[in-house]
Amino acid sequence: MRRTLAASLVGLLALSGAAQAQAQEEIAGDPPVTEVSDDPAARAIAENEASCAGGAAAVDPGFVTLADVDGDGVNDVRIDYGGLTCDGSYGYCGSGGCTQEIWLGDRDGPYRLLVAGQITQIEFPAHGHVRLTRDGGWCGLSGAEICIDDYEVRDGTLVPVP
C-alpha cells in the first residue's frame, strides 16, 4: 500500500533536519534510476537529522513542492535541500545551486527518483516538461554562466528536448 506525503507535509515545519545528502545525477539518456521511496521527504529529513549530529536542524518552507510533473494525474515531489539547515548553515548548497530531486509518484507504489543533483532551478512549464537550470560546467561554459536544459518525461526518464 502506498503511503502519501500527507504525514510529512502536515508536520513538515515541526520536523527538523540538515546534513549533506548523497545524491546521484541522472543524465538524460542514462538508464532510469531505480531508487524508490515511500516518502522521499521524510527520508531526506531523517538523513539530515542524523547528519546534523545534535546541531539545531531545521526545515524551511519550500523544501517540498508537489506537482504533477509527468502528467499522469498523480502528484510528484520536488525536494529542494536548500530548505534544510543545520545550525543555520545551508550545507546542501554551493555556487552551482542546491541539491534537488524530483520523485515521480505512482498510484499503487512508491515514488521513483527521476533526477537528483546540484541544480540552480527546476521549473515545470507544462505537464511532462522539466526545465533544469545549472551552472555552466554542465554544458561546456564557465561555472559562472548558466545552462538551461529542457526535457520531456517519458517512461520515467528525462529525454532532452531539441
Cell numbers representing residue 89 in the block: 548553515
> What's the chain's average pLDDT?
79
Q: Let me know if residue 147 belongs to a domain.
A: no
Q: Let me know if residue 70 belongs to a domain.
A: yes
Sorted by sequence, the CB contacts under 8 Å of residue 80 that are 6+ apart come out as 62, 63, 64, 65, 98, 100, 122
Q: Are 89 and 55 in contact (CB under 8 A)?
A: no
Q: Let me know if residue 138 belongs to a domain.
A: no
Structural domain containing residue 85: 6-119
Q: Let me know if residue 115 belongs to a domain.
A: yes
What is the mean predicted confidence (pLDDT) over 105-134?
93
Count of domains observed in the chain: 1
Q: What is the pLDDT of residues 57-102, one digit of tens each?
A: 889 988 999 999 999 999 999 999 999 988 888 888 888 899 999 9
The model's pTM: 0.77
Q: Let me know if residue 71 belongs to a domain.
A: yes
Q: Let me know if residue 139 belongs to a domain.
A: no
Q: Let me know if residue 128 belongs to a domain.
A: no
Number of Cα atoms under 13 Å in the Cβ half of residue 82: 17
Q: Let me know if residue 35 belongs to a domain.
A: yes
